[in-house]
């Protein structure tokens, strides 16, 4: 185990966690797609591993806060890029059989590593860091860069590299002979050709031909011709290669494991920050979730991030909702018209808990969330042709394991439309039992249903309704409501498509 992890206070980070059903249910897969797209790398696996406790969550939140500081993002992205370049050399090493070449590559690899560590340390020293994770990292880096081991490595690498750089090679090619000598050339013909280049193409970004193309070939492995030339150099300057060989042998495993791990793990925070910045530019917002000491859960202007990713592309802002669960409350029961935003709201709650469990900011303006051990979901699915089971049987099959072992008493449960194929009477009884079970277990959660009766009786149950606006159109607002009777008549009218707007649209022929 590494001595340090930026993802976990006790360094126990492991990245193999199975995909949970809620990934699909909450449309987290769609959010991940966006995150991966903006980060240009698949980081999904990192978003499947949660800190084991509240302390772990707080550890990450404070690290993230540090990473959001001015300049931090660039510092860490640069560090990661460098370390990726180093990894590329490791890959390239596998493509050559020449031992000498492998050694020179190792030298470059070390150079990049040293430079990355050095730059990271220097640049981080200029930032005021407060989190436990970052402070610990700085302590480790500080000790490391001032150690003799580090300094010696740095000195030797640059000395040996310099001895290689100091060999000018001049090649004259004529009559199928190559004449090698060791002297500087000016590049006279380059200068002659340069006069043809058009001024606008001549800026810094424009790579010269030789920067793009190696006239001796593009292979990673050293070519036969270069080997011949190297042999001549070897005869002339044996000590250069002797020093190289000795040094590489002695250096061995020179890299610190926690630094290599840091380069990987930091992508978790950076990928989210990249995503967050893009979304903020589009007018969306995020907030770090506050730890809730009681069992109270609060979210203001909470929205469905997956939906918002899509909509904000066209400049449309998602519907936001405030939600609040007091200390003595356990479960939301959400009812309301079809297409009224019920599932969207359930998803946004799920996403809220998901991101807060990861220790990342949540899609809301203010949030206070207690620690939940697990997230459990049950969303209704289309009847499965493969299993051949009826829908009810299929639902119960998925429900059973959820209700088995909620021993931790602090899970977050999202249920979306259970038992829709069962008779109303049966469905009510079964629904009530499910609800009682989770409430009895001390779980928090939301139950989206078309069954009006479920929300009655229990004081721990909060009844929510998807609302309609003055024109009786769905406005996707979710509010607390204890008297659904008031709206049931509206629902009836709506069911028969006889609202003002509906009738108007029907007459206009605009309705589908």
- Site for another protein, rule CB under 8 A: 89, 92, 98, 100-101, 104-105, 108, 111, 164-165, 167-181, 184-190, 192-198, 201, 209-210, 213-217, 220, 222-226, 228-230, 232-233
d(CA 125, CA 142): 9
> Which helix (H) or strand (E) is 65 found in, with range?
helix 54-67
Question: In angstroms, how far is CA 496 from the centroid of its own chain?
Answer: 46
Q: How near is the Cβ of 151 to another protein at its closest, in Å?
A: 22
Q: How near is the Cβ of 229 to another protein at its closest, in Å?
A: 7
Residue with smaller CB distance to another protein, 58 or 221: 221
Residue with smaller CB distance to another protein, 63 or 105: 105
Contact predicate 480/336, CB 8 Å? no
> Looking up tokens 């669960």, which residue turns up?
325
What's the first-to-final CA gap in the chain, in angstroms?
61
Residue with smaller CB distance to another protein, 192 or 425: 192
d(CA 138, CA 126): 11
E strands, 349-442, in order: 366-369, 375-379, 412-416
* Helices of type H across 448-499: 485-495
Token readout for 151 is 């300094």
Q: How near is the Cβ of 107 to another protein at its closest, in Å?
A: 8
Residue with smaller CB distance to another protein, 177 or 425: 177
Q: How near is the Cβ of 226 to another protein at its closest, in Å?
A: 6
Residue with smaller CB distance to another protein, 95 or 488: 95
Nearest to 39 by CA among 68, 81, 83, 86: 81
> Looking up tokens 């949970």, which residue turns up?
20
Q: How near is the Cβ of 156 to another protein at its closest, in Å?
A: 16
In this structure, what is the dihedral angle of CA atoms 129, 130, 133, 136, given to the nearest 10 degrees? 70
Q: How near is the Cβ of 263 to another protein at its closest, in Å?
A: 20
Radius of gyration over every alpha carbon of the chain, rounded to an integer in angstroms: 31
Residue with smaller CB distance to another protein, 9 or 106: 106
Q: How near is the Cβ of 237 to another protein at its closest, in Å?
A: 11
Residue with smaller CB distance to another protein, 193 or 317: 193
Q: How near is the Cβ of 251 to another protein at its closest, in Å?
A: 17
Distant-in-sequence, close-in-space partners of 345: CB < 8 Å, separation ≥ 6: 304, 321, 323, 334, 446, 448, 464, 466, 476, 478
Question: In angstroms, how far is CA 179 from the centroid of its own chain?
Answer: 55
Residue with smaller CB distance to another protein, 210 or 500: 210
> Looking up tokens 């070939």, which residue turns up?
217
Contact predicate 158/98, CB 8 Å? no
Residue with smaller CB distance to another protein, 142 or 181: 181
> Which helix (H) or strand (E) is 386 found in, with range?
none
Residue with smaller CB distance to another protein, 49 or 254: 254
- Please state the φ and ψ torsions of residue 82, each to the nearest 5 degrees: -60, -45
Residue with smaller CB distance to another protein, 68 or 169: 169
Residue 332 CB neighbours (<10 A): 25
Q: How near is the Cβ of 56 to another protein at its closest, in Å?
A: 41
Q: How near is the Cβ of 201 to another protein at its closest, in Å?
A: 6
Q: How near is the Cβ of 5 to another protein at its closest, in Å?
A: 31
Q: How near is the Cβ of 193 to another protein at its closest, in Å?
A: 4
Nearest to 247 by CA among 141, 166, 164: 164
Residue 437 CB neighbours (<10 A): 15
In this structure, is the dihedral angle defined by the CA atoms of residues 404, 410, 416 and 421, taken in order, positive or negative? positive
Distant-in-sequence, close-in-space partners of 99: CB < 8 Å, separation ≥ 6: none
Residue 376 burial class via C-beta count within 10 angstroms: exposed 0-12, middle 13-18, buried 19 and up:
buried
Residue with smaller CB distance to another protein, 71 or 217: 217
DSSP per-residue letters across 445-458: EEEE-S-GGGGSS-
């Amino acid at each position: 185990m590494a001595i340090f992890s930026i993802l976990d206070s006790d360094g126990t980070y492991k990245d193999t966690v199975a995909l949970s059903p809620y990934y699909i249910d909450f449309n987290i897969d769609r959010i991940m797609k966006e995150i991966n797209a903006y980060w240009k790398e698949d980081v999904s696996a990192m978003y499947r591993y949660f800190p084991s406790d509240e302390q772990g969550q707080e550890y990450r939140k404070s690290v993230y806060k540090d990473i959001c500081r001015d300049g931090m993002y660039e510092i860490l992205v640069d560090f990661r890029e460098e370390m990726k370049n180093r990894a590329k050399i490791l890959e390239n090493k596998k493509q050559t059989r020449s031992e000498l070449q492998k050694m020179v590559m190792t030298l470059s690899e070390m150079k990049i590593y040293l430079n990355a560590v050095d730059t990271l340390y220097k640049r981080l020293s200029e930032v005021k860091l407060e989190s436990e994770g970052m402070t610990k990292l700085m302590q480790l880096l500080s000790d490391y860069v001032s150690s003799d081991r580090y300094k010696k490595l740095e000195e030797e690498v640059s000395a040996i590299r310099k001895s290689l750089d100091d060999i000018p090679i001049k090649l004259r090619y004529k009559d199928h002979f190559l004449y090698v000598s060791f002297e500087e050339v000016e590049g006279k013909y380059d200068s002659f050709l340069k006069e043809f280049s058009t001024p606008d193409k001549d800026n810094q970004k424009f790579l010269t031909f030789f920067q793009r193309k190696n006239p001796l070939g593009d292979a990673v492995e050293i070519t036969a011709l270069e080997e011949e030339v190297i042999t001549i150099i070897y005869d002339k300057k044996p000590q250069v290669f002797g020093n190289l060989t000795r040094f590489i042998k002695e250096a061995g495993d020179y890299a610190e494991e926690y630094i290599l791990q840091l380069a990987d793990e930091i992508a978790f925070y950076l990928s989210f920050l990249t995503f967050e910045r893009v979304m903020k530019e589009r007018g969306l917002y995020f907030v770090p979730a506050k730890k809730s000491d009681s069992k109270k859960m609060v979210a203001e202007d909470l929205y469905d991030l997956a939906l918002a990713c899509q909509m904000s592309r066209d400049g449309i802002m998602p519907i936001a909702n405030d939600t609040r669960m007091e200390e003595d409350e356990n479960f939301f029961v959400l009812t309301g018209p079809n297409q009224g935003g019920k599932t969207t709201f359930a998803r946004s709650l799920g996403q809220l808990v998901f991101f807060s469990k990861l220790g990342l900011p949540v899609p809301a303006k203010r949030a206070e969330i207690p620690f939940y051990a697990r997230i459990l979901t049950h969303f209704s699915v289309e009847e499965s042709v493969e299993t051949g089971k009826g829908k009810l049987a299929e639902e119960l099959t998925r429900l059973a394991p959820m209700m088995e072992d909620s021993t931790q008493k602090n899970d977050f449960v999202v249920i979306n439309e259970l038992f829709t194929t069962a008779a109303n009477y049966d469905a009510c009884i079964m629904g009530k039992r499910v609800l009682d079970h989770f409430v009895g277990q001390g779980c928090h959660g939301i139950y989206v249903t078309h069954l009006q009766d479920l929300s009655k009786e229990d004081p721990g149950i909060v009844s929510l309704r998807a609302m309609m606006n003055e024109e009786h159109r769905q406005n996707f607002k979710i509010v607390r409501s204890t008297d659904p009777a008031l709206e049931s008549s509206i629902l009836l009218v709506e069911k028969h498509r006889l609202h003002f707007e509906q009738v108007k649209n029907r007459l206009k022929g605009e309705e589908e």
